[in-house]
Amino acid sequence: MRIEETAEAVALAFLAIKRHLEAEISLKAGLYQVAKPRKPGVNVLRLARRLLHIYAVEENRISPVLDEILMGGEVTEDSKILLKLLISGLLAGLDLGDLEKLVMTLRRVLKSLWPGDVEPWIGIVRAISRRAVEIPKLENYPPWFIKFLYRILGREEAHELMRFQDERKPVMYAVLNTLMSQTSDLLSEVERAGIDLEPDPRLPGIYVVKMVEQTRKLVKLIKRGILLIQDFSSYYAVYSAGLKPEMRVLDVYAAPGAKTVLMGIQMRNRGLIVSVDSSLERISTHLKRVRKIGLKIVEDVAADATIPLPFNFKADVVLLDPPCSSTGLFWREPAYRWMIKPRHIRMFAKLQAKMLENSAKHVRENGLLIYSTCSISLEENEILLEDFLKRHPEFKLAEVEPALGSGGLRGFSEARRLYPHRDLCNGFFIAKLVKRW
């Protein structure tokens, strides 16, 4: 890779971290925002993503060492970000080229955003990368999370999961919008765009994105609604509902809309989907998205599902995918591991219990309720459902089919758990409840 491309990738990662901290958004969202106006090439974007992933994984153990070295020095936060970014990348074995040439090129690329006070400290990067200064081997996860993994997976597999998340690049999955055209025609268009899709043998209709020649062509297909980027776990949750044309569906906490679109595809754009979200802004974006995709069966309602919903709608299937702690996203969004605390899990569990209670009122007799989260905590999943089923004997747990991943814990073998190192997707929980009367 040319030094100019490497410098552009480092600059993108640096700016994404700044945006992440300033706007309190994910690193992924930060990268998307800063990359959009710069239109980087696919190799540059790929390296920037890799740098951000490594930074999020290693930042916790690099920071104390760097702070000790810089003690007393007048160094801005921007300079610290850049130093940690370079150090983490080099420690991970990334080839960033000649360090002096990289710094000179970075200065040109960043222009007025270049943190000039970093230059006297560049020697630290070289010293740490050559192991002249030792970085202690600390765990890359908070102690509470490690203890939790020991409980549910055992010590050996817990460390296997953590190593996997730190070392392996997340898999990208895609779904074709068959509402627009036949599968064969859509695949031909995707192939012409230089995108290599491989069918995932576990479920029909979802593909692994193996290769993208030009990111802008991928983005163009996504904007046109031909290709939907969706993790395998979320696709599985919708697929397990067994949706068919003419069904009546309630989609609770629907925005940004990816799952709603998957439902519409399965229903062949026939029937009714009532989508609920508490944010008027998200609802507006959601409606624009589903209309652009070609869905005509969606009705949006702005409502707070933590209180009784303002309608009498009875659904064949209710799909509740509530806000959660995102402990299943530590692979795809490694920065989350340092942001989430046990108190957040307890807070989300209380909200989820209210949303489940109110959503369940809208399941017709013999109808289904699909409950899913991108969390692997017990409090937000099995424990929450235990309490719900004690209060609601009219509901019973049913087998999630097909039975992929692993069975639920605490006797919830009918539910499914997905783990990144076992299933190559987000950590996830899915349960299917049937209303008997």
Q: Residue 84: which CATH number?
A: 1.10.940
The secondary element (H helix, E strand) that includes residue 173 is: strand 173-176
- Number of neighbours of residue 178 by Cβ within 10 angstroms: 15
Residue 370 lies in a domain: yes
pLDDT band at 16 (very low <50, low <70, confident <90, very high): very high
Question: 348 and 254 in one domain?
Answer: yes
**Average pLDDT value over all residues in the chain:** 93
Considering 182, 212, 229, which residue would you say is the last residue of a domain? 229
pLDDT band at 279 (very low <50, low <70, confident <90, very high): confident
Residue 320 lies in a domain: yes
Residue 134 lies in a domain: no
pTM more than 0.95: no
Residue 276 lies in a domain: yes
Residue predicted with more confidence, 25 or 318: 318
Q: What is the pLDDT, as a whole number, of residue 132?
A: 67
Question: 363 and 303 in one domain?
Answer: yes
Helices (H), 24-121: 27-35, 42-69, 77-91, 99-110
Question: 196 and 116 in one domain?
Answer: no
Question: 249 and 212 in one domain?
Answer: no
Question: 368 and 331 in one domain?
Answer: yes
Question: 245 and 391 in one domain?
Answer: yes
Q: What digits encode the pLDDT tens for the residues 240-259?
A: 999 999 999 999 987 777 88
- Number of neighbours of residue 398 by Cβ within 10 angstroms: 15
Question: 266 and 221 in one domain?
Answer: no
Over range 84-109, report the average pLDDT.
92
When divided into structural domains, the chain yields a total of: 3
Question: 417 and 292 in one domain?
Answer: yes
Taking CB atoms within 8 Å and a gap of at least 24, the contacts of 79-82 are 79/115, 79/117, 79/118, 79/121, 81/14, 81/17, 81/18, 82/14, 82/115, 82/118
- Number of neighbours of residue 40 by Cβ within 10 angstroms: 21
Q: What is the pLDDT, as a whole number, of residue 39?
A: 87
Closest by Cα among 195, 199, 228 to 212: 195
Residue 150 lies in a domain: no
Q: What is the CATH number of the domain that holds 194?
A: 3.30.70.1170
Residue 158 lies in a domain: no
Q: What is the CATH number of the domain that holds 271?
A: 3.40.50.150
Report the C-alpha gap between 337 and 55 in whole angstroms: 13
Question: 222 and 260 in one domain?
Answer: no
Closest by Cα among 231, 229, 297, 299 to 268: 297
Taking phi over 0 as left and psi of -120 to 50 as alpha, with beta for the rest, 146 belongs to alpha
Question: 240 and 225 in one domain?
Answer: no
- Sequence letter at residue 215: T
The strand ranges marked E within 278-377 are: 298-302, 315-320, 363-373
Closest by Cα among 329, 323, 324, 326 to 252: 323
Q: How far apart are the first and last CA of the chain?
A: 64
Report the C-alpha gap between 373 and 324 in whole angstroms: 6
Report the C-alpha gap between 338 and 149 in whole angstroms: 16
Question: 7 and 80 in one domain?
Answer: yes
Question: 290 and 311 in one domain?
Answer: yes
For 275, the domain range is: 234-435
Four-CA torsion 413, 414, 420, 424, nearest 10 degrees: 130
C-beta separation of 51 from 89 below 8 A: yes
